Amino acid sequence: MFDRAVLWLIEHRVLLPGITVLARFVAEVRSVEHNRIYVLLAAAVSREQRERFERLLVVAEDARRSRLDQLRTAAVNLSGRGFQGALERAAEINELGACALELPDVPPAKLAALARYGLGAKARRCGS
Predicted confidence (pLDDT) per residue in 15-57, tens digit? 777 778 888 888 999 899 989 988 988 888 888 888 888 888 8
Residues 57 and 40 in one domain: no
CB 105 within 8 A of CB 40: yes
pLDDT at 128 over 50: no
Residues 28 and 81 in one domain: no
pLDDT at 127 over 50: no
Residues 9 and 29 in one domain: yes
Residues 111 and 52 in one domain: yes
Distance CA 23, CA 25 (A): 5
User: Does residue 75 or residue 89 have the better pLDDT?
Assistant: 89
What is the residue range of 30's domain? 1-44
Residues 38 and 50 in one domain: no
Residues 21 and 11 in one domain: yes
- The whole model's pTM is what? 0.58
CB 3 within 8 A of CB 22: no
